Structures are given as structure tokens and as C-alpha cells.
């Protein structure tokens, strides 16, 4: 019976994990859109409107002004994409932190275990048998 219970909980944990992975993937796409479509354009107002196009050409052959063409011309250090991914990570980490914090706060305090009741007195027959045993041991 206990083995069947463990198998059942194991299946529940696997289903929970699969559910979490699916939701996490969808959540990642939402965060990518939030960063790419809302946050980075605001940050990009201080420079280029497309933040992901920030790059440094690593060879003199790179003369393009956008990242896609520059990558065709030679090696580039695409630091704008890196910054975008770091912002994605920070947002996802912050949201997950807030979810875990909310779940911990939502947990109700575990009630203190009730004081253990004293064990019931032994049946009269056992008391008589113990008295007989003690009397025989004295002989």
C-alpha cells in the first residue's frame, strides 16, 4: 500500500514539473515581448531606437550599421543582445522571487501539535498479571 502511495505522489510530482515547464516557457515568451517591445525601446530612447543593434565590430571589414549585416561581414561583439538577455533574466528572477515570497506568506502557520494525552491505564487483567508476576519473582 505504501509503495503504491509513493508511486502516486511521484506521478503527481512529474505532472507538476511538466506543468511548470510549460507555464515557464509561455512566461518566458511574455517576458521576451515585454523587454523587446516595451522596456528596451524606452532604454533605447537614450541612443539608438533598436537596442539590440548595439555591437562592436571585431575586424576592420565590419562596416555595416545594423547587427545582421555586420555579422555577415565578420566577427562582431553583439553586446546589445547580451544586455537585453540580462534584463530578461532580471525581470524573470524578480517575478519568480515575488511569486515564491507570496506563496510563503500565503502559507498558514502550522498549528502547534496538541499536548500528548496521557496513555490510557492498562486493562485490569494486565494489572493482575503483573501483580502475579511480581509475586512469583519474590519467591
Q: Please, what are the domains in the chain? A: 2-106 (1.10.1200.120)
Local structure of residue 81 (DSSP, 8 states) = H
Element (H, E) at 14: helix 2-34
pLDDT of residue 133: 92
Contact 69, 63 (CB under 8 A): no
Residue 9 is predicted with a pLDDT of 52
Q: How many CA atoms lie within 13 A of 29 on its CB side?
A: 5
Dump pLDDT digits (tens) for 2-61. Answer: 555 555 555 567 777 888 888 888 888 888 788 778 877 777 677 655 567 788 888 888
| pLDDT tens digits along 85-130 | 787 788 878 877 888 888 788 776 666 677 778 888 889 999 888 9
Query: What is the distance, to the nearest Å, from the Cα of residue 108 to the centroid of all Cα atoms in its chain?
Result: 20
pLDDT of residue 21: 85
Question: So what's the pLDDT on residue 137?
Answer: 92
Amino acid at each position: 500500500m505504501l509503495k503504491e502511495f509513493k508511486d502516486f505522489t511521484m506521478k503527481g510530482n512529474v505532472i507538476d514539473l511538466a506543468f511548470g515547464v510549460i507555464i515557464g516557457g509561455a512566461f518566458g515568451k511574455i517576458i521576451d515581448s515585454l523587454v523587446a517591445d516595451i522596456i528596451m525601446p524606452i532604454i533605447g530612447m537614450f541612443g539608438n531606437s533598436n537596442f539590440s543593434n548595439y555591437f562592436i565590430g571585431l575586424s576592420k571589414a565590419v562596416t555595416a550599421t545594423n547587427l545582421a549585416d555586420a555579422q555577415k561581414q565578420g566577427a562582431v561583439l553583439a553586446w546589445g543582445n547580451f544586455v537585453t538577455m540580462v534584463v530578461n533574466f532580471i525581470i524573470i528572477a524578480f517575478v519568480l522571487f515575488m511569486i515564491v515570497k507570496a506563496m510563503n506568506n500565503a502559507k498558514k502557520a502550522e498549528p502547534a501539535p496538541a499536548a500528548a494525552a496521557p496513555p490510557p491505564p492498562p486493562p485490569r487483567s494486565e494489572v493482575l498479571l503483573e501483580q502475579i508476576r511480581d509475586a512469583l519473582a519474590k519467591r
